[in-house]
Amino acid sequence: MKGSGIYRSGFSEQQFNCAVELSGTILHLYLENEKKDLLIWNLRSLQKCQWQGSQLILTYGPAPHQILECSGPLAEKIYRLWSGQETYNEPKEFKYKGIVGVGIILLLVAITIAVFGFFFFLPWVGEKATALIPVETEVQIGENIAKVYSEQNDMNDSATYYLNLFVKQLELDETYKIDVKVIESKEINAFALPGGKIFVYSGILDKMNSYEELLALLGHEVTHVIKRHSLKSICRSAATGIAISSVFVDVHGVSSVILSKANEFKQLDYSRDLETEADDNGLQIMLENKVSPKGMLDLLNLLKEEGVEMPQYMKYLSTHPDTDSRIENISENPGLKTTFPVNLKLQNIFGKLKRCI
């Protein structure tokens, strides 16, 4: 459904006419400014939606809030959806079918541990058991946890649009469909969920100066996905609870143990070996996409500087330990000597992404 409106950024009184298109619960705002910017708003992320006379006023994002004024059939449709007077198709609920498979697999693992008496090694076995978990089940787990994060945080839908557009330009392993979302926060952080979901905080995007740094970050997090680092870490930490639930064939218990760990994903304690693998493979992804690997060094130096100057952002560094060692490791990589011309397409998308932060 299409219409028109008036947009204000919140940073000034300047306003722009815009074309507005509603698709499901997503608003596309095509601004009539010099850069012809496109903004993406999810109705679920609106701060307010209220009528002033015949005008519908939409308030979006953190302060200073962005404002959209519209009227007519489009405005009525938006208000009905936002207020719940009209329903829309919800995504399919998480099914326990995959979790049942996890329970059966981990039940066998638990029995094996009991027979051989290696309860002390349960976390190690839990990590190794991830090789038995089907990709389909892993994706279902990631989607359910991603839904929790999306509902609990303010999302930057415009930045999310351009970040996924950036990802679509890349040559990546096709085992998982990579889907990136931007959380509106000053926190310097990014984390990967099992199955292809990646969350990036606007704080780290705001600090970046080049598309090379962005690809370095994405390459690192994509590696956590394709190498199943996130699943290994969460199964390792949850192994005892999962095994106990599996022994008693408590499917709901198994799922609750996994989902209870949802809030730990952004602070997963990856080992030094996994972090090194993520850096090395991330750099290889940059080379395969013909992007200067120097961006990886720039990213690591950025994280180091932010950790020193802004202690409140140390969470990111604690989940990615030994930044100096990581810098030294990347500095010794022979791929760093490879140079490539500027990728104008990625540079252009990065510029549009930065304007949304």
Query: Which residue is it, tokens 């839908």?
Result: 157
* 19 in a structural domain: yes
pLDDT computed for residue 232 by the predictor:
76
Q: Which parts of 61-140 are beta strand (E)?
A: 66-70
* 92 in a structural domain: no
Say whether both 161 and 253 belong to one domain: yes
* 91 in a structural domain: no
Domain that holds residue 326: 97-355
Task: Say if residue 194 is preceded by a cis peptide, omega within 30 of 0.
Answer: no
| Neighbour count for residue 170 (Cβ, 10 Å) | 17
Give the SS3 label for residue 93: coil
pLDDT computed for residue 72 by the predictor:
93
Question: What is this structure's pTM?
Answer: 0.73
**At residue 103, what is the residue type?**
G
Specify the CATH number for the domain of residue 68.
2.30.29.30
**At residue 44, what is the residue type?**
R
Distances, alpha carbon 220 to alpha carbons 117, 249, 281, 312, 330, in Å:
37, 37, 7, 23, 12
Boundary-marking domain end, from 52, 83, 114: 83
Say whether both 213 and 112 belong to one domain: yes
Boundary-marking domain end, from 54, 83, 112: 83
Distances, alpha carbon 122 to alpha carbons 166, 242, 244, in Å:
40, 11, 11
What pairs with residue 26 in β-bridges?
23, 42
3-state secondary structure 189-245: CEEECCCCEEEEEHHHHHHCCCHHHHHHHHHHHHHHHHCCHHHHHHHHHHHHHHHHH
Say whether both 216 and 285 belong to one domain: yes
pLDDT computed for residue 11 by the predictor:
87
Phi-psi region of 91 (alpha: psi -120 to 50; beta: other; left: phi over 0): beta
When divided into structural domains, the chain yields a total of: 2
Cα–Cα distance for residue pair 180/269, rounded to 1 Å: 21
Please provide residue 55's backbone torsions phi and psi, each rounded to the nearest 5 degrees. -100, 135
Say whether both 21 and 148 belong to one domain: no
pLDDT computed for residue 38 by the predictor:
92
The tens place of each residue's pLDDT in the chain, 357 residues long, gives 999 999 999 888 899 999 999 998 899 999 999 888 899 999 988 999 999 999 999 999 888 899 999 999 999 999 999 988 877 554 444 444 445 555 665 666 665 555 444 444 555 555 566 666 788 888 888 898 898 888 889 999 999 999 999 999 999 998 999 999 999 999 998 999 989 999 999 999 999 999 999 999 999 999 999 998 877 777 666 655 555 444 434 444 444 445 455 555 555 556 677 888 999 999 999 999 999 999 999 999 999 888 733 333 333 434 445 788 889 989 988 888 888 999 999 999 999 999 998
